[in-house]
Amino acid sequence: MIGRLNGVLLEKTPPLVLIDCNGVGYECEVPMSTFYNLPAIGEKVVMLTHFVVREDAQLLYGFGSVQERATFRQLLKVNGIGAKSALSILSGVSIDELVQAITMQEVGMLTRIPGVGKKTAERLLLELKDKFAVEGLTTNNHAPKSASSDVLNALISLGYNEREALAAVKLLPADATVADGIKQALKSLSK
């Protein structure tokens, strides 16, 4: 398996890049998030990869970070999501936005991605609901997400169903602490 490429960037034609590694040119498909962060042609580049062997092709996908590759691999595990769809999702939203949409169960954010319909978005939400925490994929903005997640868990522990709890958490200000968030959420749920 090819897990990493270290070489000189020869070509950049979205979504394909060509990297020369000691005389061997590797062609990789990359998400746009990786593509925009590539150096100029002729400069050195290091890219993490995911290698797929199919009956009719051998494909190499490249990523600029460990988090991107881990997210891609999680997306591939979802029923009905192939490599092209996973690249499209990573090109359409940032990893932080994807994690937030899945954590907050927001179908609307996912359906804005080209090629992702309502059924696919619902499947993503269902199958990835608990996966990102296991893989260590979290948003960079830890405090608000952690607080909203803690408030959500507290409301569920208090007996509210997940739909009600999510609706109450969505109404909270982004800078709410856990204690204030629980108080505000309980007030909105009691109306």
Q: Quick one: pLDDT at residue 16?
A: 94
Q: What is the mean pLDDT of the chain?
A: 85
Question: What angle do the packed helices 95-103 and 118-128 form, to 10 degrees?
Answer: 80
Neighbours of 118 (CB within 10 A): 11
Domain with CATH 1.10.8 in the chain: 142-190
Q: Quick one: pLDDT at residue 147?
A: 75
All residues at 6 or more sequence positions from 36 whose CB lies less than 8 Å from its CB, including other chains: none
Distance of CA 158 to the CA centre of its chain: 30
What confidence tier does 20 reach under pLDDT thresholds 50, 70, 90?
very high
Tens digit of pLDDT for each residue in 133-154? Answer: 544 454 444 334 457 777 877 8
> How far from each other are the two terminal CA atoms of the chain, in whole angstroms?
57
Looking at the domain 142-190, which fold is it? Answer: Helicase, Ruva Protein; domain 3 (1.10.8)
Domain with CATH 2.40.50.140 in the chain: 4-63
Looking at the domain 4-63, which fold is it? Answer: OB fold (Dihydrolipoamide Acetyltransferase, E2P) (2.40.50)
Residue 180 CA neighbour count, 13 Å, CB half: 8
Name the maximum alpha-carbon separation found in the chain: 68
Q: Which residue shows structure tokens 């042609």?
A: 41
- Greater confidence, 21 or 160? 21
Query: What percent of the chain shows pLDDT beyond 70?
Result: 92
Tens digit of pLDDT for each residue in 38-62? Answer: 999 999 999 999 999 989 999 999 9
Looking at the domain 67-135, which fold is it? Answer: DNA polymerase; domain 1 (1.10.150)
